[in-house]
Amino acid sequence: MRKLKLSVLVIALFLMFGFNANAQDANTILKNMDDVMYSPKDMTGKTKIILIDKAGKEKTREADIIQKGTDKRIFRFTAPSSQAGIAVLSLPNDVMYLYMPAFGKERRISSSVKSQNFAGTDFSYDDMESKPNSEKYTPKLLETEEGAYVLELTPISKKSSYSKVIMKVHKTHFYPISAEFYDKGNRKIKEGISVYKKIGNYWNAQEMSMTNLKKNHTTRMIMSDVKYDTGLTDDDFTVRKLKQ
Amino acid sequence: MNKLAEGIVKARWLIIIIVLGLTGFFGYQLKDIKLDADVVNSLPDDDPTAVLYTNIGNKYGGNTMGMVIVQADNIFDTKVLEHIKQVTDTVKYIDGISTVTSLTDVIDIKGSDWGIEIGKLVDEYDLPTTQTQLDSLKHRVMSKEMYKGNIVSEDGTSTLVLFTLLDDADKQAVAKEIKEKITKLNLPEKISFGGIPMMMDDVSNLMMVDMRNLIPITFIIIMLVLLISFRSARGVVLPLLTASISTVWVLGIMQLSGYMLNLVSINMPVILLAVGSAYTIHVINRVNECKEKDRRKALIISLTYIIIPILLSGITTAFGFISFVFGAYLTMIRDFGMFTSLGVLIALLISVVFVPAFVSAFSMFKSQKALKKGIKSEDTIMGKMLLTPFSNLIVKHPKYITVIWIAVMAISIWGMFNIKTSVNMVEYFQKDNPTRVIEEIMQKKFGGSIPVFVVFKGDMQSPDVLKKMIETENYMKKYPDVTSTQSVADLIEEMNDVMGEGKKIPDEKAKIEQLWFLLDGQDIMSQLVTDDLDEGIIQSKFASAHSDDAKEFVIYMNEYIKDNSTDDCQILLTGMPSVYVKLNDSLINSQFSSLAIAIVLVVLIVALILRSFPKGIYAAIPIVATIIILFGFMGITGIALDIATVLVASIALGMGIDYSIHIITHFSKKFDEVKNIEEAIKDSIMISGKAIIINVISVAAGFLVLTFSHIVPIQNFGLLVSLSMIGAGVGALTLLPVILILANRAKEQVYKNLDNGLKYIKNKKI
């Protein structure tokens, strides 16, 4: 059940398109970044999730993703074979359904725990939330580096597991390059890096990786076969579709 | 020997420079010396039970788990919950902490008709405040096995904040920081700390306190004994210098070879102070007694005379310690045996090489004035008050002495049958020690803290294996000392329930694999199954600390395992009860087998060097008698055989035999000289007896200092070694002379006859 929000993150962070602006302040930069990330109408693609433990041992999972807007998506696992067919449907207002083919039925899931990591990956529920960053954080422009703005993001909700996030945003394209996550003890606990490529009109996060610095555990998510604006409808995001 | 003695005197400056140089070098190493308080590390690495236990602890993180215990009148109170949250947050943000679980930070999964609800048991940002909310929380906690008795005690007065450490964390440092920061919160609730990392911090503190207190006390006590005995500066300085140099050397070598000081070897400096000074005492005593005017010559004569007995006594003592390398179960005792015996040998070397070199280099001979006065042993207080009447009694009434010894031995043999063993590590701490207090709380409120693991080797996603785990857990819970168990099978049952198929293990593997998807990556999974899914454990706790209960439980479990373990699902039991049982058996076995071997070898060594088998036997009699009395004493007073007291017999043998050796060599030389038993015995007791008594007093006093240790087995160890030394000394001065008198009467008669014959021949000629 903790896989649910993976799609949110995936979608949120890699839906990009070219955007150019001379942002002046932190709020504008963040707003521009949200615009870059949440622009496509819909998306389909495949993702490969590689989990790397501290000994360097890898575990791989694969899934198909479809998404409409920012709040409707289905995440369907294709590998490993024991987990193939497990699917998660996310709908607005934190409504989620989990389908397990071995049981032949779906269960509705509600979760209020956002700080937990989901199944084996280093992304937390919080990381995967598709809520625009400008609604989640209060930004502060720390410095302007060559090619990037460095923002300090302070969570608005006191329930966030982070005290701050230091994010680098591309100066001309406004996609996030890297992020450092600090816990409430003000220790850096996670580091995320993303690599972007332009697909059609949108910037796409081809690969994202997140490293848990405490456990020295890394998750890489690699996207492929990405198509944008193929005309998905709300009917593609129903419980009936989930079971197919 | 004469040449060696001359060589030592000749090369005195070279010897002094080398010894001081090495001391400086080893002393420099001490700056990095470290304490190893990791009790788990001290389990042996070649015993299957212990290896399995250590591996499980490391593999599933049990050895890096700790807890903060919060006690209040009622845990379900907003103020108390707030404080629990404060403790939780404090621990969470300490470097080296991996996960924290507590009442205010624990996942709660509820299944319902429509689906699953995942949340926190308590919303840490919105703690329950109304009585209704608090009551409903209490009801929820008490209804789930996962919380009741695990996070909150059944009576609702205690709760645990459980935490795990990162693998590479410095356990002791983290434990220390947790204690400091939580104590600083100054909460009204009663706060205590438990778990292996916390215990390590306790143990390490105890070790430091012991070392700081005991070494100076021993130093002063031995100094006083020497001062009273010798009444000269060198009589005090040289023995202490020997002991100090050997301590520095052995600690330096220990550091260089990568060993750390542990719970037992921390006492090595105290022991070396007591033991290592002995050899120098004999050297000085001998030089003092030598009446040769040219003091340099006197030194060489004395040295020639004393080298063999000293070598012999040093080697046998070292042998007593080294027997632990082969006999002891815990590695900390093996390390202790190895390095203490090395220390003894170094002290020996220093005594026969460095001390004479030092004496001749700095002309630290007894003043000519004292010599001229011709103070004899008989004239000293000890001589007048003790030795003279003593030797008279022995020579006149050997039978009385024999009868007394036989009577004491008879009582001791009766007492031996009541001897107990104690292997529960918690009992090794004093009653008011935090570790022991925690254990009591844990036993009363949380079903104990003694970890039990049942290991399952097989496909962890197979329905058969998981069902067998559930069956095993039910079997375990039937045992009165086991209250709760946890395994991945429980989680699978719960997830199956959440999927709406009831709280049971599904029959199809495919279902289990998919339920696994929900659990993957949860922190708890790494505490229950391996990454490769080929091994998993049932974690449980055992409530009783008694060895007998542990033994009974192990038998109970083994019966089940024998009937249920298969190739596809191999079942193994480990945990502290198993280790206790093993430890208990090995204590008694190793005690008697290693002691027997030690006795035989010591007899042989003595016989070989004295070139007489009967002498080897005679030398062993007083000390064997002492060891019997030692066991009798332990049986009668209830001092148990434990990790430290198990060492006493071998140490007593190795050190106590020295007294016999001194008496026998002295007696033999004198007897050959004067051919009169009475005179030879008196001379032996007056001269060697004096050294023995000084040695007994200084060694016994040195070991008695250990009774101030904070670690119970070390206290008993100190007491018992002291008593054994007194016993061995008294044995060598009473029982041994009696034996020598009886054994040599015939020989004396021969001498007398020979003498009379010679006189007769002489007379005839005239």
Which pLDDT band holds residue A16 (cuts at 50, 70, 90)? very low
Give dist(CA B135, CA B156) in Å, integer: 12
> What pLDDT shows up at residue B374?
44
Q: For B94, which residue in chain A has the nearest alpha carbon? A: A185
Residue of B106, B498, B518 best to disrupt the A interface, most CBs of A under 10 A:
B518
Name the minimum distance, in Å, from the CA of B509 to any CA of chain A.
Answer: 9
Give dist(CA B424, CA B713) in Å, integer: 11
Q: What's the distance, Cα to Cα, between the start and end of chain B in Å?
A: 43
Smallest Cβ–Cβ distance between A82 and the set B94, B95, B513 belongs to: B513
DSSP secondary structure letters along B508-559: SHHHHHHHHHHHTT-GGGGGTB-TTSSEEEEEEEE----HHHHHHHHHHHHH
Where does residue B195 fall: left (phi above 0), alpha (psi -120 to 50 degrees), or beta otherwise?
A: left
A38 neighbors A70 (Cβ within 8 angstroms): yes
Q: Which domain holds residue A117?
A: 6-242
Residues of A in contact with B120 (CB under 8 A): 112-113
> What pLDDT shows up at residue B727?
93
Q: Look at A117 and B95 and tell me if their CB atoms are within 8 Å.
A: no
Give dist(CA B97, CA B181) in Å, integer: 14
> What pLDDT shows up at residue B171?
82
Domain ranges of chain B: 1-32+232-367, 48-198, 376-417+612-766, 434-581
Is any Cβ of chain B less than 8 angstroms from the Cβ of A5?
no
The answer on pLDDT for A18 being more than 80 is no
Smallest Cβ–Cβ distance between A86 and the set B116, B517, B531 belongs to: B517
Look at residue A111 and tell me if it is in a domain: yes
Q: Choose between B591 and A61: higher pLDDT.
A: A61
> What pLDDT shows up at residue B369?
47
Element holding B743 (H helix, E strand) = helix B736-765
Look at residue A174 and tell me if it is in a domain: yes
> What pLDDT shows up at residue B228?
83
Look at residue A42 and tell me if it is in a domain: yes
Q: Look at A119 and B517 and tell me if their CB atoms are within 8 Å.
A: yes
> What pLDDT shows up at residue A15?
39
Is any Cβ of chain A less than 8 angstroms from the Cβ of B513?
yes
Give dist(CA B535, CA B533) in Å, integer: 6
Residue of B109, B520, B530, B531 best to disrupt the A interface, most CBs of A under 10 A:
B520
Residue of B85, B91, B108, B118 best to disrupt the A interface, most CBs of A under 10 A:
B118
List the alpha helices (DSSP H) in B638-711.
Answer: 648-674, 677-704
Which pLDDT band holds residue A46 (cuts at 50, 70, 90)? very high
Pairing verdict, β A202-212 and B485-486 = unpaired
Look at residue A132 and tell me if it is in a domain: yes
Name the minimum distance, in Å, from the CA of A123 to any CA of chain B.
Answer: 11
> What pLDDT shows up at residue A129?
66
Residues of B in contact with A82 (CB under 8 A): 461, 510, 513-514, 516
Q: For B105, which residue in chain A has the nearest alpha carbon? A: A113
Residues of B in contact with A159 (CB under 8 A): 125
B230 neighbors B284 (Cβ within 8 angstroms): yes
Please tell me whether residue A103 adopts helix, strand or coil conformation: coil
Give the type of residue at B719.
L
As a CATH number, domain B48-198 is: 3.30.70.1320
Q: Look at B517 and A158 and tell me if their CB atoms are within 8 Å.
A: no
Copy the structure tokens of residue A128: 């995967």
CATH fold label, B1-32+232-367 = Multidrug efflux transporter AcrB transmembrane fold (1.20.1640)
A205 neighbors A17 (Cβ within 8 angstroms): no
Q: Choose between B753 and A176: higher pLDDT.
A: A176
Is any Cβ of chain B less than 8 angstroms from the Cβ of A188?
no
- Only one residue has tokens 């003000």, namely A186
Q: How many other CB atoms sit within 10 Å of the CB of residue A235?
A: 8
Name the minimum distance, in Å, from the CA of A180 to any CA of chain B.
Answer: 17
The answer on pLDDT for A33 being more than 70 is yes
Q: CA B480, B481, B483, B484: dihedral to nearest 10 degrees?
A: -130
Below-50 pLDDT ranges, chain B:
368-375
Q: How many domains does chain A have?
A: 1
Measured CA distances, A67 to A11, A39, A81, A118 (Å) = 7, 12, 23, 20
Rounded to a whole number of angstroms, the CA Rg of chain B reads 33
> What pLDDT shows up at residue B380?
65
Is any Cβ of chain B less than 8 angstroms from the Cβ of A145?
no
CATH number at residue A48: 2.50.20.10
B254 neighbors B269 (Cβ within 8 angstroms): no
Give dist(CA A239, CA A91) in Å, integer: 10
- Which candidate, B123, B142, B145, places its Cα nearest to that of B74? B142
CATH fold label, B376-417+612-766 = Multidrug efflux transporter AcrB transmembrane fold (1.20.1640)
Is any Cβ of chain A less than 8 angstroms from the Cβ of B135?
no
* pTM check: above 0.90: no
Which pLDDT band holds residue A22 (cuts at 50, 70, 90)? very low
Same fold, B1-32+232-367 and B376-417+612-766: yes
Give dist(CA B599, CA B620) in Å, integer: 7
Give dist(CA B368, CA B480) in Å, integer: 78
Copy the structure tokens of residue B429: 């701490």
Look at residue A1 and tell me if it is in a domain: no
Is any Cβ of chain A less than 8 angstroms from the Cβ of B140?
no
Is any Cβ of chain A less than 8 angstroms from the Cβ of B507?
no
